[in-house]
């Protein structure tokens, strides 16, 4: 890793644990990465100024609209949260930062503040002028069934949508584009020469031959076959309740789920607190924690910063690669 490697952290919802986990993870991370710099974005009132160090860990101040109170959401600070994201994206596009790492935000509070917002993934795609990006969670999973922990990666075909809308969103074109993005980024960012991708069905038992739904036959399987013809090692569709097999993790580089909870329920059961959210398909690197704002413990010095630390590790690794 070169001395110019520079990561930026957006500290997220000011009433949550974002500022706490950002600082704690950054301090620990820098101890073992001497040739790296981290900038944290946020209001100076949220931090202890004594922890910052010129040239290594800096705070880039952005003013809150109103003072933050631990655990109490304030919609008037929604523009502040968005401002942090915009600054980080701009810096990444200008190559001032080599990767951005995001602390948790509160989507409901941003919307209450008058800003339409469905999530980091969708917002960053819009800011980067990308028609489609893919949300992927990465983490080590250890069920005690393998000789050593295995890497578990779960990507989503759809992200933050009401479940009733998911079947209409799943199209052959969408799946082909998702598979292509996953394959390309695993090769070029993660250094996996030939990614192996397992795809879930949408319906129980992957449709049971059409008796429980025809999406697998009419949409998912044709998409998989189309991408196989391009030389991509993609397989499926598999029943989602048996696809995540701990004994086969070392044989699969990524699982592609059709919707949010189908993929993230098994992932968080296996890796919660150690997982990292990665956005594939962006023109810059973005990683994030796998948890929320934890308003109930904000300001109590109780937050677990392991996921933020892992997000920094992966961001630095991808930037170096």
Question: Which of 143, 101, 65 lies closest to 311 in space, CA to CA?
Answer: 101
The number of CA neighbours under 13 Å toward the Cβ of 194 is 7
Looking at residue 41, its pLDDT comes to 98
Does the predicted TM-score (pTM) go above 0.85?
yes
Residue 320: the pLDDT is 83
* Per-domain boundaries in the chain: 1-130+282-321, 132-281
- pLDDT value of position 271: 83
Residues (pLDDT < 50) of the chain are 1-2
All residues at 6 or more sequence positions from 268 whose CB lies less than 8 Å from its CB, including other chains:
137, 275, 290
pLDDT of residue 252: 95
pLDDT for the residue numbered 1:
44
Q: Which pLDDT does position 97 carry in this prediction?
A: 97
Domains 1-130+282-321 and 132-281 share a fold: yes
CATH number at 1-130+282-321: 3.40.718.10
Distant-in-sequence, close-in-space partners of 288: CB < 8 Å, separation ≥ 6: 101, 102, 103, 104, 120, 276, 277, 278, 279, 311
CATH classification code of 132-281: 3.40.718.10
């Amino acid at each position: 890793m070169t001395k110019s490697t520079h990561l930026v952290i957006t500290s997220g919802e000011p009433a949550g644990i974002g500022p706490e986990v950002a600082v704690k993870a950054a301090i620990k991370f820098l101890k073992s990465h001497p040739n790296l710099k981290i900038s944290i974005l946020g209001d100076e009132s949220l931090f202890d100024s004594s922890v910052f160090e010129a040239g290594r860990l800096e705070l880039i101040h952005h003013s809150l609209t109103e003072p933050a109170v631990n655990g109490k959401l304030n919609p008037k600070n929604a523009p502040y949260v968005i401002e942090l994201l915009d600054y980080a994206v701009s810096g990444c596009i200008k190559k001032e930062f080599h990767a951005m790492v995001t602390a948790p935000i509160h989507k409901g509070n941003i919307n209450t503040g008058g800003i339409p917002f469905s999530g980091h993934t969708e917002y960053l795609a819009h800011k980067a002028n990308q028609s489609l990006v893919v949300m992927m969670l990465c983490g080590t999973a250890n069920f005690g069934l393998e000789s050593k922990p295995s890497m578990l990666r779960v990507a989503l075909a759809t992200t933050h949508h009401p479940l009733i809308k998911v079947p209409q969103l799943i199209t052959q074109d969408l799946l082909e584009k998702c598979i292509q993005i996953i394959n390309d980024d695993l090769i070029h960012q993660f250094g996996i020469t030939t990614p192996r991708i397992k795809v879930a069905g949408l319906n129980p038992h992957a449709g049971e031959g059409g008796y429980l739904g025809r999406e697998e036959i009419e949409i998912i399987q044709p998409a998989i076959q189309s991408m196989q013809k391009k030389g991509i090692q993609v397989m499926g569709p598999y029943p989602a309740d048996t696809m995540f097999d701990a004994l086969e993790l070392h044989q699969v580089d990524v699982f592609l789920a059709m919707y949010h909870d189908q993929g993230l329920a098994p992932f968080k059961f296996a890796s919660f607190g150690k997982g990292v959210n990665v956005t594939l398909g962006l023109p810059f690197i973005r990683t994030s924690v796998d948890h929320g704002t934890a308003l109930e413990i904000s300001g109590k010095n109780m937050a677990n910063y392991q996921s933020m630390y892992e997000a920094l590790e992966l961001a630095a690794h991808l930037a170096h690669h």
